[in-house]
Amino acid sequence: MPPRLNIIVPVKRVIDYAIKPRVNSAKNIVETNGVKFSLNPFCEIAVEEAIRLRESKKDLVESITLVSAGSAKAQDALRSGLAMGADKATLIECPGIDDAKSLSLEPLAVAKLLKAYIDKEGANLVILGKQAIDDDSNQTGQMLAGLLNWPQATNASNVAVDDDGIVSVTREVDGGSETLSAPLPIVITTDLRLNVPRYTKLQDIMKAKKKKTDKLTPSDLGVDIAPRLEVVSLSDPPKRLGGSKVDSVDSLISKLKDVGAI
């Protein structure tokens, strides 16, 4: 019998993937007023993978716990994950963080919070999204593995746990795939191709209401979350200029010369 898995899935609430973010007129934050937020897609994949591990083998998984850090609204992300099938959730409510300032909760602070949480509650597997689509940092998983001094397998496209508790993770690399294996405990970050998350069943949404959500604060965990970076400015990507049609090869060439392309 392998050791039973106590899985922690850190999740983040971000601006919905389908929404085009807009920078505010002061050029210092991304507009969040009236914007739809959802569970970060990579986090959703991480929750799905934890549930699939449970479904793959009876008694393999002991518990799946979600953790999110941020404003009180991060509760939404936890609720989505609970409805997908996680067992319980913990919200680390960070004072001074709201939708507009969510980027000032930096990867290192989140990794420290998670490290402190795991030291306190225990776990032998962390599955998290490789990055959040708001800041695209792709750092939290790696930093957490470093702080915990656990092995890490990033950008997973397949995850398997054998009877001896050895975890094999396949990752897509240039020119093919690479498989890493390591004993528990381990930190795994998920790539897009790992799985397709399930839709949330109505029954599970109702059941999720009865599931427990604990609350903690950074000071409960003894972590300082003060940002170390300063956002100097934000700007929208340059607007695409409209194209134009030309009626002959000669005029095409002269146009290209005009703009200095040839």
Partner 1 sequence: MYPEIIRDPRFGELTQADIEYFKSILPESSILQDDQDLSGYNIDSMRKYNGQSRLVLKPRSTEEVSKIMKHCGERKLAVVPQGGNTGLVGGSVPVFDEIVISLSNLNKIRSFDEVSGIIVADAGCILEATDMFLAEHGYIFPLDLGAKGSCHIGGNVATNAGGLRLLRYGSLHGSVLGVEAVMADGTIVNGLGKLRKDNTGYDIKQLLIGSEGTLGVITGVSVLCPKRSKVMNVAFFGLDSYEKVQKAFVKAKSDLGEILSAFEFMDRESQDQVAQFSELRRPLDEQHNFYVLVETSGSNRSHDEEKLQEYLEGLMEAEIIDDGVLAQDETQMKNIWTWREGIPESLARTGGVYKYDVSIPLEDLYLMVEDCRAKLVEKGYEIGTEESNIVNVVGYGHLGDGNLHLNVAVKSYSKDVEHALEPWVYEWIQKRQGSISAEHGLGFAKRPYLKYSKDQSMINLMKQVKNVYDPDGIMNPYKYI
| Nearest distance, CB of residue 45 and partner 1, angstroms | 12
Closer CB to partner 1, 12 or 115, in the complex: 12
| Distance between CA atoms of residues 138 and 15, nearest Å | 17
State in angstroms the smallest separation of the CB of 148 from partner 1: 30
Output the smallest distance, CB 25 to partner 1, in A: 16
Residues in the chain: 262
Nearer to partner 1, 17 or 236 (CB): 17
Pairing of β 213-216 and β 186-190 = unpaired
DSSP code for 34: T
- How many C-alpha atoms does 202 have within 13 Å on its Cβ side? 0
Q: How far is the CB of 63 from partner 1 (least distance, A)?
A: 22
Nearer to partner 1, 196 or 229 (CB): 196
| Residue 185, preceding peptide bond in cis (omega within 30° of 0) | yes
Q: How far apart are CA 217 and CA 223, in angstroms?
A: 9
Backbone angles phi, psi at 206, to 5 degrees: -70, -40
Which residues are CB-neighbours of 187 under 8 A, at least 6 positions away? Answer: 126, 128, 141, 144, 145, 148, 150, 151, 152, 153
Q: Distance from first CA to last CA of the chain, Å, rounded?
A: 67
Nearer to partner 1, 34 or 175 (CB): 34
Choose between 80 and 104: whose C-beta lies nearer to partner 1. 80
CB of 183 to partner 1, least distance (A): 33
Task: Give contact residues for partner 1 (rule: CB under 8 A).
Answer: 16-19, 34, 36, 38-39, 41, 80, 83, 196, 198-203, 205-206
| Residue number, 39 or 111, with CB nearest to partner 1 | 39
Distance of closest approach, residue 66 Cβ to partner 1, in angstroms: 14
